[in-house]
């Protein structure tokens, strides 16, 4: 009889303690994250402003979390390869993706099918943004956007404009300007903005739509003329260049980046990463690193800010894509 009573007590005690042990174990697992290296897949080649921003973040993130944070560059396929690899990784917090506005906002609008969708990821934090410009060679006759548009329309043909990718943010901004100003665009596609910038500065390209960071130094030495910028107000970095808005064109396109995790990553891990990254972006040291990269402006946005950026992009660029009938095939 005593043995029977003891067995029942043991069973009752085990039933009481087991959930506590499971809860404690789960909490302990969350508390020790991360316990091994974290990888951030960047869907572009090493070098350039976006890659430099990702590496600046990784450097501070590994100090804050106490584990190595490794940058894994996987370029190609208009950002599809790297973004798809990150989105389909195990949702354990050890593989993250470097979010590019073109990859998360535009590709789903341009391609018939993709290995990922904007809703297939957990947004962690928006990091920074850059602005876009229209520029001409330094020896061009036009000195203002108004003069350049007049020349384009007088030629009675499409405006040949250098871009880094077909269907990318800079191409679509040029299409938007053409739609509003009344001219057609003939995108001249280069393998990146660097070669397009070189050809523009050499006078071998009549115009270019690009990121300010890639044209700023050429503008400062007079080898190109930046005619307008997509910021909401003039930048102290380049105060002589007017905005599209002040010239009568409501264009305020930005190119942003951030960090995401695969769908299903535990909320506690997403919250910890979001908090850590946002704390880093607020530090003077990180902001100094960003300031050293031309036209990289910090955002420090939450996951909700990232969602809002994607929606704003899709609303803005979606109108252009539909109106100009732009699409890409897988």
- What's CA 304's distance to the chain center, in Å? 15
Q: Could you tell me if 170 and 101 are in contact, meaning their C-beta atoms sit under 8 angstroms apart?
A: no
What are the pLDDT digits (tens) for 94-110? Answer: 999 999 988 999 999 99
Per-residue confidence (pLDDT) for residue 44, from 0 to 100: 85
The three-state (H, E, C) secondary structure of the chain, written as one string: CHHHHHHHHHHHHHHHHHHHHHHHHHHHHHHCCCCCCEEEEECCCCCCHHHHHHHHHHHHHHHHHCCCEEEEECCCCCCHHHHHHHHCCCCCCCEEEEEEHHHHHHHHHHECCCCCCHHHEEEEEEEEEEEEEEEEECCCCCCCHHHHHHHHHHHCCCEEEEECCCCCHHHHHHHHHHHHHCCCEEEEECCCHHHHHHHHHCCCCCCEEEEHHHHHHHHHCCCEEEEEECCCCCCCCCCCCCECCCCCCCCCCEEEEEEEEECCCCHHHHHHHHHHHHHHHCCHHHHHHHHCCCCCEEEEECHHHHHHHHHHHHHHHHHHHHHHCCCECC
Q: What percent of the chain is predicted at pLDDT more than 70?
A: 90
**130 vs 92, residue with greater confidence:** 92
Q: Return the domain boundaries, the chain.
A: 38-129+255-324, 131-229
**18 vs 196, residue with greater confidence:** 196
CA dist 105 and 314 (Å) reads 6
Q: What is the mean pLDDT of the chain?
A: 87
- Is 329 a residue whose pLDDT tops 90? no
Q: How confident is the model at residue 330 (pLDDT cuts 50, 70, 90)?
A: low
CATH 3.40.190.10 applies to domain 131-229: yes
- Is 31 a residue whose pLDDT tops 90? no
Least confident of 89-93, 283-287, 301-305: 301-305
Least confident of 9-23, 45-59, 97-111, 179-193: 9-23
Per-residue confidence (pLDDT) for residue 16, from 0 to 100: 43
Per-residue confidence (pLDDT) for residue 168, from 0 to 100: 86
Of the candidates 82, 34, 35, which has an alpha carbon nearest to the alpha carbon of residue 54?
A: 82
What are the pLDDT digits (tens) for 230-252? Answer: 999 999 989 999 999 999 999 98
Given the candidates 3.40.190.150, 1.10.1740.10, 3.20.20.70, 3.20.20.140, the CATH classification of the domain at 38-129+255-324 is 3.40.190.150
- Is 15 a residue whose pLDDT tops 80? no
Say if 38-129+255-324 and 131-229 have the same CATH topology: yes
Angle at 81 (CA atoms; ends 75, 84), nearest 5 degrees = 135
Mean pLDDT for the stretch of residues 290-294: 81
CA dist 195 and 73 (Å) reads 21
Q: How confident is the model at residue 86 (pLDDT cuts 50, 70, 90)?
A: very high
Per-residue confidence (pLDDT) for residue 167, from 0 to 100: 87
Question: Exposed/middle/buried for 163, CB within 10 Å: 0-12, 13-18, 19+?
Answer: buried
**283 vs 8, residue with greater confidence:** 283
Q: What is the rounded radius of gyration, in angstroms, for the C-alpha atoms of the chain?
A: 25
**322 vs 77, residue with greater confidence:** 322
């Amino acid at each position: 009889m005593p043995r029977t009573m003891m067995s029942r007590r043991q069973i009752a005690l085990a039933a009481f303690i087991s959930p506590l042990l499971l809860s404690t174990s789960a909490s302990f697992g969350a508390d020790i994250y991360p316990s091994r290296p974290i990888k951030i897949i960047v869907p572009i080649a090493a070098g350039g402003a976006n890659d430099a921003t990702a590496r600046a973040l990784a450097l501070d993130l590994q100090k804050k979390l106490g584990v190595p944070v490794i940058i894994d560059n996987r370029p190609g396929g208009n950002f599809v390869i790297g973004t798809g690899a990150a989105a389909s990784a195990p949702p354990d917090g050890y593989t993250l993706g470097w979010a590019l506005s073109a990859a998360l906002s535009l590709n789903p609008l341009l391609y018939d099918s993709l290995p990922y969708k904007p809703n297939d990821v957990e947004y962690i934090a928006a990091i920074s943004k850059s602005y876009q410009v229209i520029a001409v060679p330094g020896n061009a006759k036009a000195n203002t956007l108004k003069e350049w548009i007049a020349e384009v329309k007088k030629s009675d043909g499409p405006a040949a404009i250098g871009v880094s990718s077909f269907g990318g943010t800079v191409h679509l901004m040029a299409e938007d300007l053409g739609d509003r100003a009344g001219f057609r665009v003939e995108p001249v596609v280069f393998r990146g903005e660097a070669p397009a910038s070189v050809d523009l500065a050499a006078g071998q390209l009549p115009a270019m739509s690009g990121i300010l960071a890639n044209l700023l130094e050429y503008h400062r030495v007079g080898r190109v003329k930046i005619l307008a910028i997509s910021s909401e107000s003039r930048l102290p970095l380049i105060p002589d260049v007017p905005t599209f808005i002040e010239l009568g064109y409501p264009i305020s396109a930005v190119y942003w980046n951030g960090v995401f995790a695969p769908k299903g990553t535990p909320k506690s891990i997403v919250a910890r990463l979001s908090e850590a990254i946002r704390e880093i972006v607020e530090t003077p040291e990180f902001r100094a690193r960003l300031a050293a990269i031309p036209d990289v402006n910090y955002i420090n946005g939450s996951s909700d800010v990232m969602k809002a950026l994607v929606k704003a992009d899709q609303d803005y660029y979606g109108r252009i894509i539909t109106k100009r009938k732009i699409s890409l095939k897988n």
